[in-house]
Amino acid sequence: SSELTQDPAVSVALGQTVRITCQGDSLRSYYASWYQQKPGQAPVLVIYGKNNRPSGIPDRFSGSSSGNTASLTITGAQAEDEADYYCNSRDSSGNHLVFGGGAKLTVL
């Protein structure tokens, strides 16, 4: 079982705002990073650190953290944002990395 917990399914109406969450004790000490994966493709990093976007990632993607919960927010979701989203951070020992179970985002 993963030390990072995500809701497996999330939905959002086109153009609306959605928050995808990731819970785990290690998130009190370490930032999460977030990855988008579309069917048949490799994952893509969308958010890392406090709230950093790699080059080429739209600014509608943002990250935040509070206590043991990290969040990925998509403001004005687009059809192309429909994908699986995974959070990642260190585990509670701090020595290994772990992924959340993933959240499937459906854009209605």
Partner 1 sequence: EVQLVESGGGLVQPGRSLRLSCAASGFTLDDYAMHWVRQAPGKGLEWVSGISWNSGSIGYADSVKGRFTISRDNAKNSLYLQMNSLRAEDTALYYCAKDGGYSAYGPFTDWGQGTLVTVSS
Q: Which residues bind partner 1 (CB under 8 A)?
A: 2, 33, 35, 37, 42-45, 48-49, 54, 84, 86, 88-90, 95-102
What do you get for the CA distance between the two ends of the chain, in Å?
Answer: 30
Residue 83 CB, nearest approach to partner 1 (Å): 13
Determine phi and psi for 87, rounding to 5 degrees. Answer: -95, 160
Residue 6 CB, nearest approach to partner 1 (Å): 9
Residue 54 CB, nearest approach to partner 1 (Å): 7
If the CB atoms of residues 57 and 73 are measured against partner 1, the closer one turns out to be 57
If the CB atoms of residues 18 and 33 are measured against partner 1, the closer one turns out to be 33
Token pair belonging to 32: 């999460």
Distances from the Cα of 82 to the Cα of 67, 77, 99, angstroms: 28, 9, 19
If the CB atoms of residues 79 and 93 are measured against partner 1, the closer one turns out to be 93
Token pair belonging to 81: 């944002």
Residue 14 CB, nearest approach to partner 1 (Å): 26
Cα gap 101→86, rounded to integer Å: 7
Question: Coil, helix or strand for 88?
Answer: strand
